[in-house]
Structure 1
Amino acid sequence: MTEPAGTYSITMPCHVAEGAKARSGPSGFSAYVVAAVARQIERDGLDELIAVAEAEHGPVTDEEVLALRERLARARQEQG
């Protein structure tokens, strides 16, 4: 089911708008902008989650990040 949509006016630098138009493909400029904003909202939510986790458990070290990336890569290889 499609969510109701509204019409909004935004201002952005011309080079950003032109770049988005050039990459929007058949789905169109509006769909491209919606997808970009949705991704940013997800990232903002993840940043908030990370801040809460780091406040509770301390920052994640570079070594921990590397170990988790290697673990993820191994899991993907095992699946594929």
Structure 2
Amino acid sequence: MAGSKKYSISLPEELAESVRAQVGPGGFSAYVAEALEQRVAMDKLREIVDDFQTDNDELSRDEVEAARSLLRHDHRASGGAAA
């Protein structure tokens, strides 16, 4: 992503402290940014699936699993963790 901007957000204290304990103080922002990137990607995927199912038959289990496999591969190739 290009550039960064500082934001102030409120988080449940227990959740924030759990993350900080896991990643340390220097990794907190990167951890939150990665979580948000994953959420945005899942929201976009949900929109694509909803649009597809509006115009087509429902996806089969095999089609869903094939899409998951592709997403895992693409996510790993871009340097992220497995979905």
For residues 62 and 41 of structure 2, the distance between their equivalents in structure 1, rounded to whole angstroms, comes to 25
Alignment map for 1:13-52 (pairs within 5 Å): 13-24=12-23, 28-52=27-51
Q: For structure 1, list consecutive stretches of 5 or more residues without a partner in the other structure.
A: 73-80
The C-alpha deviation readout for 1:50-77, integer Å capped at 9, x for no partner, is 10111111322446546x48xx6xxxxx
**Aligned letter for 1:55?**
T
**Aligned letter for 1:40?**
R
Aligned residue pairs total: 68
Bigger Rg over Cα: 1
Q: For structure 2, list consecutive stretches of 5 or more residues without a partner in the other structure.
A: 70-83
User: Could you tell me whether the CA contact under 8 Å between 1:54 and 1:60 is conserved in 2?
Assistant: yes
For residues 60 and 32 of structure 1, the distance between their equivalents in structure 2, rounded to whole angstroms, comes to 32
Scaled by the length of structure 2, the TM-score of the pair is 0.65
For residues 37 and 64 of structure 2, the distance between their equivalents in structure 1, rounded to whole angstroms, comes to 25
Report the alpha carbon displacement of residue 22 of structure 1 after superposing the two structures with TM.
2.1
* Cα RMSD, aligned residues only: 2.5
User: Could you tell me whether the CA contact under 8 Å between 1:24 and 1:31 is conserved in 2?
Assistant: no
Scaled by the length of structure 1, the TM-score of the pair is 0.67
The C-alpha deviation readout for 1:22-52, integer Å capped at 9, x for no partner, is 2225861000000000000000010001101
Identity percentage of aligned residues: 31
